[in-house]
Amino acid sequence: MNEVIKTLKNHRSFRHYSNKPLKEEELSAIITAAQSGPSWIHGQQVSVIAVQDTTRKNQLAELCGNQDHIRQAPVFLIFCADFHRAKLASEIEGTDFNAVEDVDSVIVGATDVGIALGNAIAAAESYQLGTVPIGGIRKNPLQVIDLLELPKYVIPISGLCIGYGEKDPGVNLRLPLETFYHKEIYNKEQKQAVEKYNLSFQGFQKERGGKETPWTKRIAGFYNGNHYNGNYPDVAAMLKQQGFPCRDI
């Protein structure tokens, strides 16, 4: 197994960090790796904002749901779907800028962000740095937009803590490969595999001293509607404010 595959398979999410700062060359390499990923039509619909200022990190930690690891991490990156440059291209060429009004533009931006985010995580871990993605950046997106001075056609999709990790959580237990990897067509017959995974997951949690809650119970609780209704109320307003009306749905 080569070193790239070893690094990818060894991923874990750190939520505790030392106060040791990142080296500038490390951060630069991580950002360059993030930018080097592919993007739809080579439109490069991603921007990354690096926040190291303590006051601003504290504000973002609060806006993301009072997540202390954002305060601890020496660098907090915010990955944004960015069509601001596409708008500039349209202005330079004197053409209309209508495609961004369709929902697919949001999917394009989020996909490009996901690719860049994955590259950044892999690059950081190649330096033995710890990371954890932060979806909570969308809890209060309108305030985040104001704090980071994001222009129209730019929306925050995910944050990423980077630093020297402490309290190694270990590699998390994944679902059976048969539920992830499908040959030729999608395999809908997954219930038995998921129920078997529940047992493995509970045993895994017990070994780590955690709650022996079945995986399905955790996920069902997340997706029953209450989580999103209470924690992400302004995402639709953010999309409309930033120029993504999704008029085709």
Domain ranges, residue 76: 3-171
Contact status, residue 184 vs residue 190, Cβ threshold 8 Å: no
For residue 181, how many other CB atoms are within 10 A of its CB?
Answer: 8
Q: What is the reported pLDDT for 216?
A: 96
* Residue 209 maps to a domain: no
pLDDT at residue 226 is higher than 80: no
Q: What is the reported pLDDT for 1?
A: 84
Measured in whole angstroms, the distance separating CA 165 from the mean position of its chain's CA atoms is 18
Checking 136-139 for CB contacts under 8 A at 24+ apart, the result is 136/63, 136/64, 136/65, 136/67, 137/60, 137/63, 137/64, 137/78, 138/232, 138/235, 138/238, 139/63, 139/64, 139/65, 139/231, 139/232
* Residue 198 maps to a domain: no
pLDDT in tens, 52-85: 999 999 999 999 999 999 999 999 999 999 999 9
* Residue 24 maps to a domain: yes
What are the structure tokens assigned to 132, written together? 């954890």
* Residue 204 maps to a domain: no
Q: What is the DSSP letter of 155?
A: E
Q: What is the reported pLDDT for 208?
A: 84
Total number of residues shown for the chain: 249
* Residue 111 maps to a domain: yes
pTM over 0.85: yes
Q: What is the reported pLDDT for 158?
A: 99
CATH number, domain of 150, equals: 3.40.109.10
pLDDT in tens, 181-208: 999 999 999 999 999 999 999 988 888 8
Radius of gyration of the chain (CA): 20
For range 213-234, the mean pLDDT: 85
Bridge partners of residue 51, in order along the sequence = 76
Contact status, residue 96 vs residue 86, Cβ threshold 8 Å: no
Question: How many domains would you assign to the chain?
Answer: 1
* Residue 148 maps to a domain: yes
pLDDT in tens, 152-177: 999 999 999 999 999 988 999 999 99
Contact status, residue 33 vs residue 126, Cβ threshold 8 Å: no
